[in-house]
Amino acid sequence: MHYTGTIWRPPYEAFSLLLEVTAGCTHHKCKFCTLYHDLPFRFRMSPMEDVESDLLEAQLWSTDPIAMLSARLQGRPRPDHVRRVFLVGANPFVLKFQRLKTIADRIHQYLPAVESIGCFARITDVALKSDRELEALHLLGYDRITIGVETGDDAALAFMNKGYPAQTIIDQAERLDAAKIAYHFFYLAGISGAGRGVEGARKSAEVFNRTHPQTIGSSMLTVFPESELYQEIQRGNWREESEIEKLEELKTLIEHLTIETKIVTDGASNLVQVRGNLPADKEKLTGHLKHLIETADEADLREYRVHLRHL
């Protein structure tokens, strides 16, 4: 398989075939982000020959002797068919409709059991497609895409150079709903900065309550020295939220969400593992966070953050 640099995928895509169709990010400007800094370019579209050769490799895996043996040792007669493909890269959904269609056609040609195709997307990538193109992408299998919206706090979106205001999240999520393309959101606790965490969470909940994400995966901001945000902190232009404030922010977000969704904090950046369905588990989750906020020691939590070398 062709893989370039560090490959990022959401935890719930662990059983998907990871297919590289892009590498890097077209935006590459968010001040806190260092995810694709290991690449010698900002963004690259994979040659179709590489994509096809990876699909052929995945197709042959079902008859590979090692895969057959491994399946039998696990009590299965043969390796499982690939049911879902996750397209690799920060935002493959930016690709033009025709390219996404060609990729989907090739996936279904080589792996006919595939039922759906996911990928990361920027919310602005959705805006580049017409309503008819979004509907056609849904019919081609594009579904449950993951969008790192990060926050609904306009001040934080602008400062961090996310490249869109909160209203874009609402508008484009509505278009995805209309096209029946389900989506997950990533939220970033800490993005609003010291003293603004609770306000950022309230504003985010207001925005998210007008959308329908299947899951809101929350991470916590970790500032790495290679990031532009680190330079902003050195210049005195921005201050980090304490770890306790990040927990308060997460609690506030959960308290103010009124939609049906799942909330999960799976990534390494999180100080605490929270997982539940909203609104059913709201009290349990906020009660757990309240207890942590009242009993946790900031210095201990900070110790975890400063020793986190990689997300």
Instruction: Kindly list the residues in this chain that would bind ligand SF4 in the complex (CB under 6 A).
Output: 25, 27-30, 33, 35-36, 90, 122, 148
Nearer to ligand SF4, 46 or 286 (CB): 46
Cβ at position 117, least distance to ligand SF4 in Å: 19
116 to each of 10, 104, 174, 218, how far by Cα in Å?
A: 15, 9, 21, 24
Q: Kindly give, in sequence order, each residue whose CB lies less than 8 Å from that of residue 29, ignoring residues fewer than 6 positions away.
A: 161, 163
Nearer to ligand SF4, 151 or 286 (CB): 151
Q: What is the spatial distance between Cα 141 and Cα 115, in angstroms, rounded to a whole number?
A: 6
Cβ at position 161, least distance to ligand SF4 in Å: 8
Q: Check if the beta carbon of residue 143 is closer than 8 Å to that of residue 181.
A: yes
Cis bond upstream, residue 11 (ω within 30): no
Cβ at position 303, least distance to ligand SF4 in Å: 26
Cβ at position 125, least distance to ligand SF4 in Å: 10
Q: What is the spatial distance between Cα 202 and Cα 210, in angstroms, rounded to a whole number?
A: 13
Nearer to ligand SF4, 29 or 76 (CB): 29
Q: Check if the beta carbon of residue 122 is closer than 8 Å to that of residue 148.
A: yes
Nearer to ligand SF4, 29 or 83 (CB): 29
Nearer to ligand SF4, 30 or 111 (CB): 30
Cβ at position 31, least distance to ligand SF4 in Å: 9
The strand order across the sheet containing 275-278 reads 17-20, 84-88, 116-121, 145-150, 183-189, 215-220, 261-264, 275-278
